[in-house]
Chain A
Amino acid sequence: MDLRVDGLSHWYSDLEVLRDINLTIPQGQIVCVIGPSGCGKSTLLRLLGGLEQPTQGQVTQVGEPPVGSLNPLTYVFQDFALLPWRSVEDNVSLVLERHNLSKAEKEDRISDVLTRTRLSDFRKAVPKQLSGGMKQRVAIARALSVNPAVLLMDEPLSALDSQTRELLMDDLIDLWTREQFTSCYITHNLAEAVRLGHKVVVLSRRPGVVREVVDIDIPLANRRMSDPRIAEIQQDLWDMMREEAQTADLELAP
């Protein structure tokens, strides 16, 4: 299933946040969206998944979600959004409870996603006992458990320290290599974008418009930071962003 955005604009009362966005997230690809802070990246993601209504334009699902998908458009949040009073397995279970699954099927799904995210040993732990990276893996496991068509990821690594971030990025690449999930990945970190994105969408400062869409056709598994091609793309992206970021930095908060 693809996700297509047509002529999407958005205002918060008088403040124009996004202007005429056109964009496709093709099945099996990770589309990274980068831009200076306050450019409306997170708003775009909320519009994609229907957590907010666009002022203009629309978001369309093209094709059918995979069989057994309980929640085709599924989010992974920056600050994990785990319920602190529920254990790891119960946090996953939360999003399955309303779907009238048989006990066995529910259990299957939980064990499956926990294995895929290498969390099987921590089923009974509560979020407070877990490191930031583990917490985000729980959140990813929870997202995977509903078998989503598109994963909408809102700066999922930005609350983590840099080493954890590297490790989790490797995890995400492994995961994609195994099961080619579809995702829209919001970040302000260029390194993440060039490591994970099949396409990188650069947004301008507010009101956000699509400045450039960069395709990177090096397979995810083969991308190394030392690769000069990667370094070059990252440098190009930074050149595009630098001015926008500088100007955005000087603006007063709305």
Chain B
Amino acid sequence: MADVTNHVDKNGANPVAAPHERPVYFRGGGFRTEPRRFVGLAVFAILLIIWEVGSRTGVISELVLPAPSQAFAAFMELVNSGNLQKHVGASLQRLTIGFSAGSLLGLVVGTAIGLSSYARAGLSPLVSAIFPIPKIALLPLFIIWFGIGEGSKVATILFGCFFPTVIATYGGIDSVDRTLIRMGQSFGLSRWEIVRKIVLPAALPAILSGMRISASIAIILLVAAEMIGAEYGIGAYVLLAGNLMSTDQLIAGVAILSMLGLIVSWLITRAEKAFLGWRN
């Protein structure tokens, strides 16, 4: 505005002169994330290259961090010895059983807390009290309760998955649009029908994102679970590598765990696409 005024002032003798023009500059945009392919991959590759070069030139001492090539060699050793399948197989079995049982139980308890005033009053403080307990601290007790076989390993993962699922489920149920429930009631749907056909599908987005978290927790707890008398398992492999200070094997094992995490995350994304397609 000041500009315009100046313009007129300066040209006071000639008020009909063409007013100063300029285009409105663009100030929108930004803050919108768009998919950028290969950027993630490139960052990963560049880090690996820097790491490898650092190790080769001795800038990064072998004691501090083994080279990626050494970790890869350790991984290939694992593949060639045939132990990879044994380790992955044992871990996958524990993960699958622990995660499914924990999620299922969590779903049931979470639904109960979400729908029943008594369950909410009785159980939700209990959940808040037990959730933050580090499951690793309970390992000696788990040994006594569930034995040193598969029981205590599955139980560790189960406990880890149970609580986030409970919280996600009842959080999801709490945020279900009440008019949908009232609609169900107004058409005379039974309680069970309302839960099954309205409440749970509506809470599914929250439940699935809870599962994304609990699946990661399951992988984190794998190492803890396999502290107890595990002969095979990626967690056991990582622990042994750590105890023996075989850092190359340690990195290889950790890489397997993170691959596992990527696969699980991909599976859940697939599940979200399949079940939550209606959101888009």
Asked whether the complex places CB atoms of A and B closer than 8 A, the reply is: yes
* Binding stretch for chain A, among B17-25, B176-184, B212-220, B245-253: B176-184
Tell me which residues from 184 to 212 in chain B have a Cβ below 8 Å from any Cβ of chain A: 185-190, 193, 197-198, 201-202, 204
With the chains together, A97 CA to B177 CA distance in Å? 21
Of A74, A81, A94, the contact of B179 (CB 8 Å cutoff): A81
Interface pair B186/A74, CB less than 8 Å apart: yes
Interface residues on chain B, size class? 20 to 34
Residues of A within 8 A of B187 (CB): 71, 74, 94-95, 146
With the chains together, A84 CA to B197 CA distance in Å? 12
Residues of B within 8 A of A86 (CB): 278
User: B278 — nearest CB in chain A belongs to which residue?
Assistant: A85
Given A77-B179, A79-B179, A146-B187 in contact, is the A84-B193 Cβ separation under 8 Å? no
Interface residues on chain A, size class? 20 to 34
Tell me which residues from 77 to 133 in chain A have a Cβ below 8 Å from any Cβ of chain B: 77, 79, 81, 83-86, 94-95, 97-98, 126-128
Interface pair A51/B185, CB less than 8 Å apart: yes
In the assembled complex, how far is the CB of residue B179 from the closest CB belonging to chain A, in whole angstroms?
A: 5
Residues of B within 8 A of A85 (CB): 201-202, 204, 276, 278
Interface pair A97/B183, CB less than 8 Å apart: no
Residue A75 interfacial (CB < 8 Å): yes
Contact with B along A151-163 (1 / 0, CB 8 A): 0000000000000
User: A84 — nearest CB in chain B belongs to which residue?
Assistant: B278
Given A95-B187, A98-B193 in contact, is the A81-B182 Cβ separation under 8 Å? yes
With the chains together, A85 CA to B185 CA distance in Å? 19
Residues of B within 8 A of A81 (CB): 177, 179-180, 182-183
- Give the secondary structure class of A's interface: loop
User: A70 — nearest CB in chain B belongs to which residue?
Assistant: B188
Interface pair B279/A83, CB less than 8 Å apart: no
In the assembled complex, how far is the CB of residue A89 from the closest CB belonging to chain B, in whole angstroms?
A: 14
Of A71, A126, A128, the contact of B188 (CB 8 Å cutoff): A71
Residues of A within 8 A of B183 (CB): 75, 77, 81
Interface pair B189/A98, CB less than 8 Å apart: yes
In the assembled complex, how far is the CB of residue B275 from the closest CB belonging to chain A, in whole angstroms?
A: 8
Given A77-B183, A85-B201 in contact, is the A95-B189 Cβ separation under 8 Å? yes
User: B187 — nearest CB in chain A belongs to which residue?
Assistant: A95
Residues of B within 8 A of A77 (CB): 179, 182-183
Residues of A within 8 A of B190 (CB): 98
Residue A49 interfacial (CB < 8 Å): yes
Contact with A along B261-280 (1 / 0, CB 8 A): 00000000000000010111
With the chains together, A51 CA to B198 CA distance in Å? 18
Given A77-B179, A128-B278 in contact, is the A83-B186 Cβ separation under 8 Å? no
Interface pair B186/A51, CB less than 8 Å apart: yes
In the assembled complex, how far is the CB of residue B193 from the closest CB belonging to chain A, in whole angstroms?
A: 6
Q: List 22 A-B contacts (CB under 8 A).
A: A51-B185, A51-B186, A71-B187, A73-B186, A75-B186, A77-B182, A81-B177, A81-B179, A81-B182, A83-B201, A83-B202, A84-B278, A85-B202, A85-B204, A85-B278, A86-B278, A95-B187, A95-B189, A97-B197, A127-B278, A128-B278, A128-B280
Given contacts A49-B186, A85-B201, 6 further A-B contacts (CB under 8 A): A77-B183, A83-B198, A84-B279, A85-B204, A94-B189, A98-B189
